[in-house]
């Protein structure tokens, strides 16, 4: 899912700023657990420390990384005590079965560093969205048409990204995970995950097997 925000979430009431980010972080964590990741596009202008930390938390939650407490929040119980009287927050807290003095989201000590597209740049938003979407491209390719590759006949095979030939290298190039699956690694995968990248595959005839 592509999520665009400046980190200033609320319950449409301009109330306690600690409560909505906790609810949003939980919902993104819950989606990730269900198999739906989130790519974050943030405000391209300067934002305050609390909103910036909330934005980073959303990005981390969507990537399955550790979510830290937002800036200025010193404990998980602090979120509960600040938010237990907020109807929208408390309804969600009850619905997901939280108890005692716990917040809704799950927090850790050191937060992750999932990328946020557009959070500190004046690059046009459309370009940032394109980069965010490109970052989700798979670096694994399955051969179609019931084709298989003879793994011992790959010496003359070529894989190129945007016209640049890649090395057959499991660190920063390409390799065959099986006789039907090609995988890009390291810098090759990074190059593929740019908005304008193209890819081509060339296998010699003797390497193609029709079962």
**Residue pLDDT, tens place only, 155-192:** 889 999 999 999 999 999 999 999 999 999 999 999 99
User: Residues 37-54: pLDDT tens digits?
Assistant: 988 888 655 678 888 899
- Of residues 6 and 86, more confidently modeled: 86
What's the confidence (pLDDT) of residue 20? 95
Q: What's the confidence (pLDDT) of residue 7?
A: 76
Whether pLDDT at 151 is above 80: yes
pLDDT at 13: 84
The rounded mean pLDDT for the chain is: 89
* Residue 46: per-residue pLDDT: 60
- Compute the average pLDDT of residues 75-83: 96
Residue 57, classified by CB atoms within 10 Å of its CB into exposed (0-12), middle (13-18) or buried (19+), is buried
pLDDT on residue 110: 93
For residue 17, pLDDT over 60 is answered with yes
Output the pTM of the full model. 0.69
- Residue-range domain boundaries for the chain: 2-133, 137-209
pLDDT tens track for 96-134: 999 989 999 999 999 999 988 875 556 676 777 788 788
Residue 23 in this model has a pLDDT that exceeds 90: yes
């Amino acid at each position: 899912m592509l999520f665009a925000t400046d980190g200033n979430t609320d319950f449409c009431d301009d109330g306690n700023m600690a409560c909505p980010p906790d609810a949003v972080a939980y919902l993104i964590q819950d989606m990730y657990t269900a198999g739906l990741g989130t790519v974050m596009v943030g405000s391209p202008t300067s934002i305050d420390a609390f909103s910036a930390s909330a934005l980073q938390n959303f990005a981390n939650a969507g990537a399955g990384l550790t979510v830290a407490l937002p800036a200025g929040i010193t404990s998980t119980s602090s979120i509960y005590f600040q938010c237990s009287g907020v109807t929208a927050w408390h309804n969600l807290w009850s619905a997901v079965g939280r108890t005692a003095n716990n917040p809704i989201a799950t927090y850790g000590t050191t937060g992750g560093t999932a990328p946020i597209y557009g959070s500190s740049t004046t690059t046009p938003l459309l370009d940032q969205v394109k980069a965010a979407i490109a970052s989700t491209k798979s670096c694994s390719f399955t051969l179609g048409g019931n084709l298989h590759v003879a793994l011992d006949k790959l010496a003359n095979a070529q894989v190129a990204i945007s016209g640049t030939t890649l090395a057959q290298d499991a660190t920063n190039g390409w390799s065959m995970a099986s006789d039907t699956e090609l995988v890009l690694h390291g810098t090759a995968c990074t190059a593929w995950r740019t908005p304008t990248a193209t890819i081509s595959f060339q296998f010699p005839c003797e390497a193609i097997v029709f079962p």
